[in-house]
């Protein structure tokens, strides 16, 4: 390899390429072919961006229009029902039927004739029903009808003059997807009689979906928040309600912004999709396009450009390799030496071979390594001293000097982290706010130094009463805060009682004629007492003060 370097060096010397600068210029001339590939790639990116925008607009427009048409179609059905329910003939006959009497059968027959006439005029209606205020069917458009089920509390919606909408379902007897819509039925003077309900099919909307998808490579369907496909421009009606989108795809659609272009894979197919929500319902209209179909022409152009660029780069690379051998050899030795220095090995010495520039560079490199070797020894001693000081500062920043417990700032950080962790795993944890009863009186009686001794003793009792993964901190003055990860309310109360009893016994000092003190403790448990650190602290503090006001020397929970 070194012999080949000398031979090529002599050849380059003949062409006055005896400096690194001239050799790099020669290589740069050959490398001018590379921008061809770069330009092609940039053109591909620009074309793809423009095509993606066009596809996004196409799918967004389709989903918006279908959502608008679906909402309008549903509004029309509700409006029609309101018109029918407001018919004097229907409301008067139903009112007479509810009163009973000998004419009941006759008025019900007239009502049924009216419902039949409506059903015959409107193809979207499968059945029409009149319900009383209990939900019982008074009269229907057909003698035998499918079971009717309205949501719980529909009467309240009806009294508020709101339409009642149910989820879609598959009606096997009719071979169609249907849903139930109902509107309130009232007399002319506003008395609530019940509801006029209908089972409507989606034949009109299925036709709209197929019309929008006709002659296009896109696919349209309507989906519920649980992923169930309600209507589809491709699938037959029955399989639609038996197929669901994958959970990840459903979550992406309903958690993202409406109209946002999504790239996802489901049903073993990679697609570009846009969803628009239906205003009146929680459903969404999805317009999707096969990814390969959308970008097929662009991918073909890209593949041809990549192949051409690859052949061009292969030729340029072969020539560049032959030229670079006289440069790469010395530079490789410099690189390897630099890597050793970066890894901490300062015993490196680089040969000062030509070319001249690299020889001078090697000389300066060796000088630099010598300086680094001397500086490393000095830096090592400085780092040791800094590490010792940093460790001391870190301990001081997170520890209460008097009690040796964590300080308030460190506890707040730990509490925020615990809230975030338990919000992810859904488990419980508890905090306890502990306050020494009559501490001011204790200070006034025995003096502040004795008060400090008492706080130290309380801190020792807290530390020895907790598990290794629990946190205890001095929160301020005579207040302490305890964090109990993975501990429910019952367990936290047991810990609090154990601490309260120990303090009531172990803080007594007969030798110095010091009476024992008691503590009041407030307990708050996540998530029952709050889902944020500030709410938990507030509820624990409220429970503490309730314990204070209830006679002290006790443990109370938030909300107790």
> Lowest mean pLDDT: which of 15-24, 128-137, 527-536?
15-24
d(CA 115, CA 106): 14
Q: Is the pLDDT of residue 481 over 50?
A: yes
Q: Does domain 35-301 have CATH number 3.40.50.1220?
A: no
The pLDDT, as a whole number, for residue 496 is: 95
Q: Is the pLDDT of residue 313 over 70?
A: no
Residue 318 or 404, more confident? 404
Q: Is the pLDDT of residue 80 over 80?
A: yes
* Average pLDDT for 303-311: 75
The pLDDT, as a whole number, for residue 354 is: 60
- Residue 141's DSSP bridge partners are none
Domain parsing of the chain, residue ranges: 35-301, 408-557
Q: Which tens digit of pLDDT belongs to each residue from 409-463?
A: 898 999 999 999 988 888 899 999 999 999 999 998 888 998 999 999 999 999 9
The pLDDT, as a whole number, for residue 218 is: 72
Confidence of residue 103 (pLDDT cuts 50, 70, 90): confident
The pair of structure tokens assigned to 312 is 């061009």
Average pLDDT, the chain: 82
Q: Is the pLDDT of residue 235 over 60?
A: no
d(CA 51, CA 356): 53
* Catalytic sites, residue numbers: 478
Per-position DSSP letters for 241-293, written without gaps between them: HT-B--HHHHHHHHHS-TT--EEEEETTEEEEEEEEE-TTSS-EEEEEEEHHH
- Residues 24-29: contacts with CB within 8 Å, 24+ apart? 24/327, 26/323, 27/320, 27/323, 27/324
Q: Which tens digit of pLDDT belongs to each residue from 33-51?
A: 677 767 877 887 888 888 8
d(CA 409, CA 398): 7
> Lowest mean pLDDT: which of 98-112, 257-271, 347-361, 412-426?
347-361
Cα–Cα nearest to 321, from 30, 535, 68: 30
* Average pLDDT for 58-78: 89
Q: Is the pLDDT of residue 237 over 60?
A: no
Q: Is the pLDDT of residue 208 over 80?
A: yes
Domain 408-557, architecture per CATH = 2-Layer Sandwich (3.30)
pTM of the model: 0.49
The pLDDT, as a whole number, for residue 238 is: 47
């Amino acid at each position: 390899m070194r012999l080949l370097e000398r031979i090529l060096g002599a050849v380059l010397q003949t062409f006055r390429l005896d400096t690194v600068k001239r050799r790099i210029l020669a290589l740069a001339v050959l490398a001018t072919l590379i921008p061809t590939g770069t330009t092609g790639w940039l053109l591909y990116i620009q074309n793809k961006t423009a095509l993606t925008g066009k596809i996004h607009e196409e799918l967004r427009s389709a989903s918006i229009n279908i959502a608008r048409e679906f909402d309008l179609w549903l509004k029309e059905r509700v409006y029609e029902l309101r018109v029918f329910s407001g018919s004097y003939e229907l409301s008067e006959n139903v009112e007479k039927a509810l009163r009973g009497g000998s004419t009941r059968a006759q008025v019900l027959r007239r009502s049924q004739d009216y419902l039949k006439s409506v059903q015959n005029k409107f193809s979207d209606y499968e059945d029409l029903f009149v319900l009383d205020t209990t939900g019982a069917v008074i009269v229907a458009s057909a003698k035998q009808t499918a079971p009717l089920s309205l949501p719980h509390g529909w009467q309240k919606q009806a009294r508020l003059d709101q339409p009642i909408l149910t989820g879609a379902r598959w009606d096997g007897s009719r071979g169609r997807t249907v849903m139930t819509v109902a509107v309130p039925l009232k007399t002319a003077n506003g008395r609530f009689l019940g509801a006029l309900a209908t089972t409507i099919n989606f034949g009109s909307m299925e036709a709209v979906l197929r019309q929008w998808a006709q002659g296009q490579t896109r696919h349209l369907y309507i989906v519920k928040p649980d992923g169930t496909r309600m209507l589809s421009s491709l699938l037959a009606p029955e399989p639609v309600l038996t197929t669901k989108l994958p959970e990840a795809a459903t979550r992406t659609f309903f958690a993202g912004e409406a109209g946002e272009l999504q790239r996802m894979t489901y049903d073993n197919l990679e697609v570009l999709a846009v969803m628009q929500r239906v205003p009146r319902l929680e459903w969404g209209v999805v317009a999707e396009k096969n990814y390969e179909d959308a970008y097929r022409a662009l991918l073909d152009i890209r593949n041809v450009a990549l192949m051409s660029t690859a052949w061009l780069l292969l030729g340029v690379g072969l020539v560049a390799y032959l030229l670079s051998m006289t440069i790469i050899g010395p530079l490789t030795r410099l690189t390897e030496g630099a890597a050793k220095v970066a890894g901490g090995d300062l015993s490196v010495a680089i040969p000062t071979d030509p070319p001249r520039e690299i020889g001078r560079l090697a000389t300066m490199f060796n000088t630099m390594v010598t300086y680094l070797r001397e500086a490393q020894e000095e830096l090592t001693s400085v780092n040791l001293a800094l590490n010792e000081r940093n460790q001391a500062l870190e301990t001081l920043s997170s520890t209460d000097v008097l009690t040796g417990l964590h300080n308030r700032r460190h506890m707040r950080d730990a509490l925020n982290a615990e809230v975030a962790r338990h919000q992810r795993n859904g488990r419980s944890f508890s905090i306890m706010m502990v306050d020494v009863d009559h501490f001011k009186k204790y200070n006034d009686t025995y003096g502040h130094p004795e008060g400090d001794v008492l706080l130290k003793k309380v801190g020792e009792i807290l530390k020895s009463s907790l598990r290794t993964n629990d946190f205890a901190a001095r929160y301020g003055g005579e207040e302490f805060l305890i964090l109990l990860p993975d501990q429910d309310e019952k367990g936290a109360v047991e810990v609090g009682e154990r601490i309260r009893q120990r303090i009531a016994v172990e803080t007594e000092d007969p030798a110095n004629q010091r009476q024992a003190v008691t503590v009041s403790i407030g307990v708050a448990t996540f998530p029952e007492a709050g889902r944020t650190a500030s709410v938990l602290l507030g509820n624990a503090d409220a429970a503490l003060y309730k314990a204070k006001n209830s006679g002290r020397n006790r443990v109370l929970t938030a909300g107790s």
